[in-house]
Amino acid sequence: MPAMDTTKTAAPTAPEADAAEDKPDTAAPAAPEDTTAPAAGPGTDASAEAGEASGEGPGEDLDADDADAFPERPTGVGSAASAVTAAGLGLVALSGSWVARVIGERQTLIGQIESANATTAKEKIAALYGDAWHMTALVNGLLAALALLLAALVLAAPAFGAPGRVHPTWVRSVSWAAVALGALGVLLFGLMYFDLLVPLPTAAE
């Protein structure tokens, strides 16, 4: 008879068998990630977050509010310049302008040409001197009237401007000085133009 195989396979030891039984078939699922955003606290402002997203900080909003609350007031540079200009025109008119002198000399030349046809001494005097004097007085009177009008507009501007707008003291002072110079020039040259202040000389026929 053939000999029987008496060798036996070794049975797994008890610890290894227990470990094999305890090992789970699949890995445990990972815990889900919390995707919810943290809740906004009581001090969070949605408008501030929107401003940060757009690149505008809270300081810019404050500057805009200040600009609305305190609008820029006019500087009055135009009124000051007009007042100084009016005073200068008044002084030039009273002292005699270059334009008036040139026009007067031109009229004198015209009078010399016209005096050749004059038949009386009065006509010759009027042609040689009277017309030139009248043109000089007319030009200087127009400059004085312009100074008076400009100064009056400066003084009347606050009444038609923004409420509470007042010119500085020196602007009002210069404007009143221009009014005085302009009024004096208009009166003086008006009298000279109509031969009331300095009449033309007369000659015996």
Is the pLDDT assigned to residue 127 strictly greater than 50?
A: yes
Domain contains 166: yes
Structural domain boundaries, residue 176? 95-193
Residue 179's closest CA among 74, 90, 114, 117?
Answer: 90
| Rounded percentage of the chain residues whose pLDDT exceeds 90 | 41
Domain contains 139: yes
Domain contains 120: yes
Domain contains 165: yes
pTM of the model: 0.61
What domain count does the chain have?
Answer: 1
Domain contains 148: yes
Contacts of 178 by beta carbon, 8 Å cutoff, 6+ apart: 83, 86, 87, 89, 90, 147, 148, 150, 151
- pLDDT tens digits for range 12-70: 454 444 544 455 454 445 555 555 544 544 444 544 454 444 554 455 454 545 545 44
Domain contains 20: no
- pLDDT tens digits for range 135-147: 999 999 999 999 9
